[in-house]
Amino acid sequence: MITRVLLGLAGLAGLAWGGVLVYELVDRSFDEGIAIGTWFVAGPVVHDLLVAPVVAVVGVLVTRVLPAPFRAPVAVGAGLTALLALLAFPLLWRLDPAPVNPGLHDGDYPMALAVMIAVVWLGVLVSCLLARWRLSRRREDLS
């Protein structure tokens, strides 16, 4: 219990200091404060109302549509695809043009993303074939 109380107090102290730092930013520029607040709230809102429901729906579809041995590889493949797209997003989409900095953020990202997603789904395909082969061998053993 003492551990929990001490941890709790340390956490509250950290939170308070963070609050002071955030307050200083808001105090210096109210507009910046509004922008920080918006981005702060946007994360949980977008996640809880959009990302998680989409994950749930995809999960249900995967279980309804696919035979059991294929479900896990396809679900993992879908997750990895979304992850790679997320990582690529700031490199692919910009409000303002990127600063001209030779050697930075100037790779062929659409191609890289396509290749990585292709590798993921190749892995999914191999996993599915393996799962089917294992299943059919088990059936042969039984018969």
Partner 1 sequence: MRFSFPVKENSFRSAAHDERVTARIGMWLGIAFTVCFVTGLLSHAIQHPPSWFFWPSRPVWLYQVTQGLHVIAGVASIPLLVAKLWSVYPKLFGRPVVRSAAHALERASILVLSGAAFFELVTGLFNVAQNYPFQFFFPPAHYAVAWVLAGSIVVHVAVKLPVIRRALGEKVDAEPPERGTLSRRGFLRSTWLASGVAVVATAGATVPLLRKVSGLSWRAGDDPQGLPVNRTAFAAGVHDSARDPAWRLEIGGRSFTRAELEAMPQITADLPIACVEGWSESATWTGVPVADVLRAAGLSIDTDVRVISLERNSLYAVSTLPAEHVADPLTLLALRVNGETLNLDHGFPCRIIAPNRPGVLQTKWVHRLEVVK
Q: Which of residues 50-79 bind partner 1 (CB under 8 A)?
A: 51-52, 55-56, 59-60, 62-63, 71-72, 74-76, 79
In angstroms, give the least distance from the CB of 132 to partner 1: 16
Identity (one letter) of the amino acid at 113? L
In angstroms, give the least distance from the CB of 142 to partner 1: 17
Decide whether 84 or 125 has the Cβ nearer to partner 1. Answer: 84
Burial 40-65 (b: 16+ CB within 10 A, else e): eeeeeeeeeeeeeeeeeeeeeebeee
Backbone dihedral region of 24: left (phi > 0), alpha (psi from -120 to 50 degrees) or beta? alpha
- Which of 2, 3, 27, 141: binder of partner 1 (CB under 8 A)? 3
How far is residue 55's CA from residue 51's CA, in Å, rounded to a whole number? Answer: 6
Q: For residues 11-50, which are near partner 1 according to CB under 8 A?
A: 11-19, 21-22, 24-25, 29, 31-32, 35-36, 39-44, 47-48
Q: Which residues 6+ apart lie within 8 Å of 120 measured at CB?
A: 77, 80, 81, 84
Decide whether 17 or 133 has the Cβ nearer to partner 1. Answer: 17
How far is residue 10's CA from residue 4's CA, in Å, rounded to a whole number? Answer: 10
Fill in the per-residue mask, 75 to 104: x = in contact with partner 1 (CB under 8 A), - = not in contact.
Answer: xx--xx--xx-xxx-xx-xxxx-xxxxxxx
In angstroms, give the least distance from the CB of 92 to partner 1: 9
Q: For residues 120-139, which are near partner 1 according to CB under 8 A?
A: 120
Count of residues binding partner 1 (CB under 8 A)?
75
Structure tokens, 88? 């690529």
Is the Cβ–Cβ distance between 66 and 74 less than 8 Å? yes
